[in-house]
Chains A and B, each alone.
Chain A
Amino acid sequence: MLDTLVIPLLKIVVLLNAILISVTFMVLMERKVIAWAQSRLGPMRVGPYGVLQAIVDPIKLILKEDITPVKADKMLFSLAPILSLVPALVAFAVVPFGGDELFYVADINVGLLFFLSVTSIGVYGIILAGWASNSKYPLLASLRASAQLISYEIAVTMTLVSVILTSGTLSMVGIVEAQLADGVWYGFIQPVAFVLVMIGALAETNRVPFDLPEAETELTGGFHTEYSGMRFSLFFLAEYANIIVISAVTALLFFGGWLRPFPNVEALAFLDIIPGWIWLFGKIFLFLYLFMWIRATLPRYRYDQLMRIGWKLLIPIALANIVVTGIVKVLV
C-alpha cells in the first residue's frame, strides 16, 4: 500500500508543483533574457529586479474575467486547454531526475515511446481550441499547427530511432545507464540526431523560429485568440511545461542525464561530489536558456519554408542517420 500508492502519489504531487512553480519563473526568465538581448532591463517594478513578477502574473491571470464566445462550441472550448496541458504534465512521469528510484515516478521499459505518444496527444488541444473558438484566425492557426506538429513529430520520432539503436533500450533510465557503460554522452556519437531533435523540439513546442501557430502579426494572436484569463494561461503553462520536458529528455538522451561530463575519465571523479540531479538540472537550464536565446535571435520562417525543412530536410537526414547508425552498429 505504502510503496504502490502513497509514495508514487507524493512524488507526483511534488513533481507537479515543482513544474508549475518553475513555469512561472521561466516566464520571468524568458522576459529578462530577451530584454537583455535587446539592451533593455525587462520587468523591474515588482520586487528586487522584478523577481516577484513571477508571483504577481499568475494572480493577475486567475483574477481576470474568463470569456467564452457566444458562438463557440462550449464543450470543446473548455476541453481544449485541459487537453493541451495534461499530456505535457503526464510526460514527466517517465523523466528520471536521477538513477535512484527516489528520483522518478516510473521507469517503464517503453519509456521513450511513452513520452513520444503522450506528447503527440497534446496537438488535440491546439486543433480543438482553434476549431471550437468558431473564429477565422484561430481556425487558420490550428490548421497550420496540426500540419506543423504532425510533420515534425515524424521527424523527431525517426531521429530518436537512431538513439534507440545506439543504446539498445527504450527505458529512460536504461538509456542513461547505457551512456555510462559506453563511457560517452550520446551527443558525441549522435551529433546529427541531436541537432535534428533540437530543431524538432523548437517546432513541436511552437517556439521561434517555428511559432507559426501563434504568429500574432498574421493571425491576431493564433489559436488562442478567443481565450482569456486562466484558460489562456493554461495554454502557456502547457507550452512551457512542454519546453521543460523536451529539454529534460534531450539532456537525458544526448547529454548523459545525471552523469558528470566525461563519465569515463577517472581524473574527473572529484566531480561526483555534485549530486546527479544537480547536473541534470544544470543541463535542463542550459537548454531552456538556448530556447530563449534562439527566440531572441531568429526571425520566423515562412509556412512553405517550414514544410520544406520538415519534409525535405529533416526526415531524409533522419532516415539516413538510422541507416548509418545501423551499419556502424553491425560493423562495430
Chain B
Amino acid sequence: MAEALAFYTLSILILGLGVAVITTPKTVHSVVFLVLNFLCVAALYVVLQAEFLAVIQILVYAGGIVVLYLFVVMLVNLKRQPEEHQDPRRLAKVGLVLSGAVLVELAAIVVYSYGREPSSVSAPSPAFPVQGNIEELGWLLYTDYLIPFEVASVLLLVAMVGAIILARREL
C-alpha cells in the first residue's frame, strides 16, 4: 500500500517534471527541473529496493552530468532570444513517425510482459557466495556479465579519446 502510494506519487512527479523540462522557456530552469527529475527517479529506485542504483543515479547524473549541462548552458549567451523558425512545424512529420515508433514499442513491451508468468520475473536468485545488495551486483558484473561490462567500459574510453581529439586537434 505504502509502496504503491510512493510509486504513483513519484511517477506523477517524474512525468510532471519531465514536461516542465521541455516546456520551460528559460534553459537554466529546465536544467534545474531535470535535476529534480533525476532525484525523483533515484527515489523510485529506492522504492524498488535498488539502493546502489539510486545512489549512483544521484552521483553520476544529478551530481555530475547535469552540472556539466549547467556549466555549458551558463557559458553560452542566453540573453538572446532564439530566432523563431520559419516554419515551427517543419519537423512535425519526423516527430510524428518517431513518437509513433516509441509508442508501438512501449505497447509491445506492455503486451509482451503482460502475458508472462509473474514467477519468471521474480525468479529465485542464484546462490551467491556473497551477501548484500552491492556485493551481489559486483559478483554478477564480474561473472555472468563480464563481457557486456568490459564492452561498456571500452565504449566510454572511446568517447573519452574522441572528446580529447576533438578538443586538441594537434597533439
Contacts and interface: CB of A to CB of B under 8 A. Distances in A.
Indicate whether A and B interact. yes
Interface of A: 73, 75-76, 79, 108-110, 113-114, 116-118, 120-121, 123-124, 127-128, 131, 139, 142-143, 146-147, 149-150, 153, 157, 170
Contacts of A120: 58-59, 62-64, 67
A46 B56 CA distance: 48
B51 to A, nearest CB: 5
5 contacts: A114-B55, A117-B56, A143-B75, A146-B67, A150-B68
Contacts of A127: 67, 70-71, 74
B58 A117 contact: yes
Contacts of A147: 71
A113 B55 contact: yes
A108 B58 contact: no
Contacts of A128: 28, 32, 70
Chain A interface, DSSP helix/strand/loop, else mixed? helix
Contacts of A118: 58
B14 interface: no
Contacts of B35: 121, 124
Nearest to A80: B32
- Top 7 nearest A-B pairs (CB, nearest first) are A120-B63, A117-B59, A117-B58, A113-B55, A110-B55, A117-B55, A110-B51
Contacts of A76: 28-29, 32
Interface string B24-51: 0010110010010001000000000001
A146 B70 contact: yes
A110 B58 CA distance: 13
Contacts of A109: 51, 132-134
B52 interface: yes
Contacts of B75: 143
Contact of B64 (A73, A139, A142, A150): A150
Given A121-B62, A128-B32, A110 B52 contact: yes
Contacts of A146: 67, 70-71
Interface size band for B: 20 to 34
Contacts of B133: 109-110
A312 B50 CA distance: 35
B168 to A, nearest CB: 14
A273 to B, nearest CB: 35
Contacts of B59: 113, 116-117, 120, 157
Nearest to B28: A131
Given A121-B58, A121-B62, A150-B64, A113 B70 contact: no
A283 to B, nearest CB: 26
A131 B74 contact: yes
Contact of A110 (B32, B64, B71, B134): B134
A219 to B, nearest CB: 16
B55 A143 contact: no
A76 B29 CA distance: 8
A72 B53 CA distance: 37
A142 B28 CA distance: 14
B131 to A, nearest CB: 10
B51 A108 contact: yes
A204 B112 CA distance: 48
Given A117-B58, A120-B62, 6 more contacts: A117-B55, A117-B56, A120-B67, A121-B35, A121-B63, A146-B67
A105 B1 CA distance: 25
B2 to A, nearest CB: 11
Contacts of B55: 110, 113-114, 117
Question: Which of the listed residues B55, B56, B64, B75 has the most CB atoms from chain A within 10 Å of its own CB?
Answer: B55
A181 B105 CA distance: 53
A118 B39 CA distance: 10
Contacts of A139: 74
Interface in B7-28: 26, 28
Contacts of A142: 74
Contacts of B28: 73, 76, 128, 131
Nearest to A122: B63
B134 A123 contact: no
A127 B72 CA distance: 12
Nearest to A124: B35
Question: Which of the listed residues B39, B58, B63 has the most CB atoms from chain A within 10 Å of its own CB?
Answer: B63
A284 to B, nearest CB: 24
A149 B67 CA distance: 10
